[in-house]
Amino acid sequence: MPPHCDSMDGPVVTAARQALDAGDVDLVLPFVHAQSEDEVRAAFARSLAARELAPAAQEVSDLYFFETVVRVHRAGEGAPYTGLKPAGLGEGPVIPLAEKAIDTGSAYDLRDFLAQELDAQLNRRLDLIVARTPRDGAPVPEVRRYVEAMLGFEVYSHHLYMAMQDTGHAG
């Protein structure tokens, strides 16, 4: 599943498209860090100039601008740029629920979904540990499978906690 911001129908490309259509680079600049504004402004100016040449040039220049903005946006997230993804791939159940929360001002549906998913994941992983609990005197490979499940559960739990503490984009 692609990251939401890498897709042709994601918020970054949508803002870039609106900026080109309106001739206003400020519409896309909130999606990049301030230190990257000059690169985006330069790409915007080149794209606007190329758009005037021919319909084919507009298509190429728009794509160049979209790729530039998404690449710069991803770099600001500390994430690699792996190319633009086509529209319509979907982003799973969480992004639409997060967008709904933003639109409505209520996180209840998102919270309920995440709580159910968390409960299912924790129980599945804990059940694996219980199923792998070694009997007394079990051979090392059997005990090792238990230890791997146990440590996996602990690391998974820790990563969840750290993700909850991360201010990331909300910085």
Residue-wise pLDDT tens digits, 135-154: 999 999 999 999 999 999 99
Percent of the chain with pLDDT over 70: 96
Global pTM reads 0.68
- Whether 27 maps to a domain, the answer reads yes
Give a yes or no: residue 62 inside a domain: yes
Co-location of 100 and 60 in the same domain? no
The mean pLDDT value for 102-121 works out to: 96
The answer as to whether 19 is a domain residue is: yes
pLDDT band at 78 (very low <50, low <70, confident <90, very high): confident
Confidence of residue 3 (pLDDT cuts 50, 70, 90): low
Structural domain ending residue among the three candidates 77, 108, 125: 77
Tell me the pLDDT tens digit for each residue of 16-26. Answer: 999 999 999 99
Number of domains in the chain: 2
| Domain end point (choices 19, 42, 77) | 77
Domain that residue 11 falls in: 4-77
Q: Across-strand partners of 7? A: 85
Are residues 99 and 127 both part of a single domain? yes
The answer to whether residue 88 is domain-embedded is no
Q: For residue 89, is it within any domain? A: no
DSSP assignment string, 20-66: HHHT-GGGTGGGS-GGGHHHHHHHHHHHHHHHTT-HHHHHHHHHHHH
Q: Does residue 84 form part of some domain?
A: no
Question: Chain-wide mean pLDDT for the chain?
Answer: 91
Residues 31 and 58 in one domain: yes
Same domain for 23 and 58, yes or no, is: yes
Q: Residues 6-28: what's their mean pLDDT?
A: 93
CA dihedral 65, 71, 75, 79 (to 10 degrees): 150
pLDDT, residue 170, reads 57
